[in-house]
Amino acid sequence: MSANGHNELGQAASPYLLQHANNPVHWRMWGEAALTEAQASNKPILLSVGYAACHWCHVMAHESFEDVPTAAVMNELFVNIKVDREERPDIDHIYMSALHALGERGGWPLTMFLTPEGEPFWGGTYFPKDSNYGRPSFVSVLKTVAEAFRKEPARIKQNTEAIGRALSRVAPGGGDGVLGLSQLDALAPQIVPIIDTVAGGLNGAPKFPNTPILELLWRAGGRLGKEPYRDLVKLTLTNMSEGGIYDHLGGGYARYSTDVQWLVPHFEKMLYDNAQILEMLALCHHEYGGELFRARAQDTVGWLAREMTNPEGAFCASIDADSEGIEGKFYVWTYGEIAALLGPEDAAFFGKFYDANRFGNWDDEAHGGHAIILNRLDTPKPSLEEEARLVPLRAKLFAARKKRIRPGLDDKILADWNGLMIAALVHAATLFDEPEWIALAARSYAFIVDNMQYTDAQGNRRLAHSWRAGVLVKPGLALDHAAMMGAALALHEARNFGPSLTRDYLADAIGWAEAMEVYHRDPASGFLAMSANDAGDVILRLAPTSDDAIPNAHPLYLAALIRLTGLTGDERWLARADALFAALSAAVRGNLVSHAGILNALDFRLRAKEIVTAGPQRKQLYEAALGVPFTARMVMDIEGVEEVPQTHPAHAQVKLAGEAAAFVCSGGTCSLPVRDAEALLANIGYA
């Protein structure tokens, strides 16, 4: 118990749970002990799910959870359980899915009411402390729900059974025919009308990066032509990178924009968003060149290293939207502040290029009106001389901003989000020719493996999901293993590019692939369940397939299996991938747009080339191979023929390598030796 004797959250490692450790609410942590307490007292459970960077979670906490009279009602009527959705995304997904089954849109904070056995029967998101605009007060909701639980057990049972049926409904496996390029080519033109042709991104507001859709368009451009597909991706990334969703002083992208122009962000910064955006920046720069995407990538990696990396090298989860109780206060300016720091002449010059003037561009009450969100959406493009003058002005503002009260850092280490960023750093490093980024990736990887990998009683190597202050949350989830497989394979491919990497990344990826099959593959549906089959505190193992802000495990696992096949020549991995594609076929056909991630993995399955580089003088060929976009290739770099498995199609050709050669393999056959980088790129189609 914590110091107040009733709130358990002081024992937690999660920064979000610790934010609530001094609430007068008798919070419990999720687990069998809390469920046992509810059953012993026959009280319903109030489950509150949020995360450290969630603005409305903070609002509800301040209004209700810090309020003694409200807490007294909660304590009297319920067993109250608080969950960090990032620490337990499996729990969050179960109960968010339950809310959707009730016909509600969902969001955070998630407020669900459960039976003592953990079965959901009603819920919502944010409830105001006081009734307003037809919405009941939180206390009245609490009393109504508790009374219904006591007096209307038949109604509660009816709700739990209906929700249970909805949650247990598994998408049909298999389907009429295998998905192929024809479906991908037919879908791409259907996506174009839902893209905002002025600002980019999906039509309307709020605007999210939605990188699976961007990647789907990007891949369509590789098959069908740059116009309009890749040009729409470029438009989106350009406006995101010039808009207020990007931090023009410190680097990094905020979670989403509340408006249609990418101007006003929801100011939280998430590791997983920036990982996915970094990869898209690398692809766009490779295709279109220019300084914008390179600069944004460099500054985002700078932000990652400076603000999001723990002393051991692992990447932290997120930075809060709020500081001093106000969303965006750390990032927003007034013109008076800018003028006081830069002087009148430089302030006017700076304002010309960053939309900063006395009238402001965000009329937000919390900031006193006339607030300024720095952006370059509708400002003139500076010349080289003007840009050189802007550099020290940005540095002055950045130095002044550092003195402000900072938003909270959620410094827990998540295996899946780190895996996403590790792979993104490696992929971006090879396209931007930034080998030192691989060193950042390798440090994070080493932390995850050394601190979050464990061997279970059956001898399987597995990952925990979360680490903070030495506390592990395990067993890990499907996405942890899939994302870290992707990280391992990216590092394996780039192990001779830049810093010397000596870990056996390939063996790690194989171990985690085996763990996925044992603990996460659902034998009934063929899908991947989020939770492991030995996770004892979940009422239901769900296997979502559609895209979300955080990538789905299925496309990451599929891509990793395909890459693993190309790097080992072992066809059993491809057989597993094809079996999973077949199982997913009906679900994907049911809603192609929401399964963009799986379709991207399918494009990789059907079109990616394997590039084998061999010979003592192969360095130039190897670097050229890595410079081909990661969406279209796998790179096997070898010292000698003994490293190529006999099952690999390049096994025989490698004997012909001599001093240096590359072989391009596809569909079980390989090209003749290619001796120079230009010829290699021409062979692949990137000359």
Q: What CATH number is attached to the domain comprising 148?
A: 3.40.30.10
Q: Are residues 329 and 401 in the same domain?
A: yes
For the chain, which ranges sit under pLDDT 70?
A: 1-5, 133-134, 170-177, 640-643, 649, 686-687
Number of independent structural domains in the chain: 4
Q: DSSP letter string over 500-522?
A: ---S-HHHHHHHHHHHHHHHTB-
Q: Are residues 330 and 448 in the same domain?
A: no
Please, what is the angle between helix 478-493 and helix 436-452, to 10°?
140
pLDDT (0 to 100) of residue 1: 34
CB atoms within 10 A of CB 354: 23
Q: Does residue 44 lie in a domain region?
A: yes
Q: Are residues 418 and 395 in the same domain?
A: no
Q: For position 681, which CATH number holds?
A: 3.40.30
Contact partners, residue 378, CB within 8 Å, separation at least 6: 355
Q: Are residues 417 and 405 in the same domain?
A: no
Structure tokens at 593: 């747009």
Strands (E), 109-226: 110-114, 120-124
- The DSSP bridge partners found for residue 674 are 662
Which of 257, 292, 270 has the alpha carbon at shortest distance from 362?
A: 257
**Cα-Cα-Cα-Cα dihedral sign, residues 109, 115, 116, 117:** negative
pLDDT (0 to 100) of residue 629: 96
Q: DSSP letter string over 45-112?
A: EEEEEE-TT-HHHHHHIIIIIT-HHHHHHHHHH-EEEEEETTT-HHHHHHHHHHHHHTT----SSEEE
Q: Does residue 343 lie in a domain region?
A: yes
Domain boundary among 410, 427, 443: 410
Across the chain, how many H-helices and E-strands are there? 24, 21
Q: Are residues 403 and 443 in the same domain?
A: no
Q: Could you say which DSSP state residue 373 is in?
A: -
Contact 17, 53 (CB under 8 A): no
| Cα separation, 621 vs 627, whole angstroms | 10
Structure tokens at 557: 């696992």
Q: Are residues 390 and 435 in the same domain?
A: no
Helix (H, G, I), strand (E, B) or coil at 388: helix
Domain boundary among 375, 410, 445: 410
Helix (H, G, I), strand (E, B) or coil at 377: coil
pLDDT (0 to 100) of residue 661: 92
Q: Are residues 421 and 348 in the same domain?
A: no
Instruction: Report which secondary-structure segment, H or E, holds 337.
Output: helix 335-342
Q: Are residues 617 and 640 in the same domain?
A: yes
Phi then psi for 661, rounded to 5 degrees? -160, 155
Q: Does residue 270 lie in a domain region?
A: yes
Q: Does residue 366 lie in a domain region?
A: yes
Domain boundary among 386, 410, 434: 410
pLDDT (0 to 100) of residue 668: 77
Q: Does residue 332 lie in a domain region?
A: yes
Q: Does residue 251 lie in a domain region?
A: yes
For residue 423, CA distances in Å to 44, 49, 87, 491, 510 come to 43, 29, 21, 7, 16
Q: Does residue 200 lie in a domain region?
A: yes
Q: Are residues 590 and 664 in the same domain?
A: no
pLDDT (0 to 100) of residue 457: 87
Q: Are residues 422 and 512 in the same domain?
A: yes
Which of 478, 444, 468, 342 has the alpha carbon at shortest distance from 398?
A: 342
Q: Does residue 2 lie in a domain region?
A: no
For residue 428, CA distances in Å to 526, 552, 633 come to 33, 21, 14
Q: Are residues 337 and 252 in the same domain?
A: yes
Which of 624, 623, 667, 615 has the alpha carbon at shortest distance from 644?
A: 615
Residue with tokens 């001898």: 459
Residue 454 lies in domain: 413-601
- State the Rg of the chain over Cα: 26
Q: For position 582, which CATH number holds?
A: 1.50.10.20
Q: Is 289 left (phi over 0), alpha (psi -120 to 50) or beta?
A: left
**Residue type present at position 129:** K
Q: Are residues 108 and 15 in the same domain?
A: yes
Give tens-digit pLDDT for 244-261: 999 999 999 999 999 999
Contact partners, residue 374, CB within 8 Å, separation at least 6: 244, 248, 249, 333, 354, 355, 356
| Cα separation, 147 vs 161, whole angstroms | 19
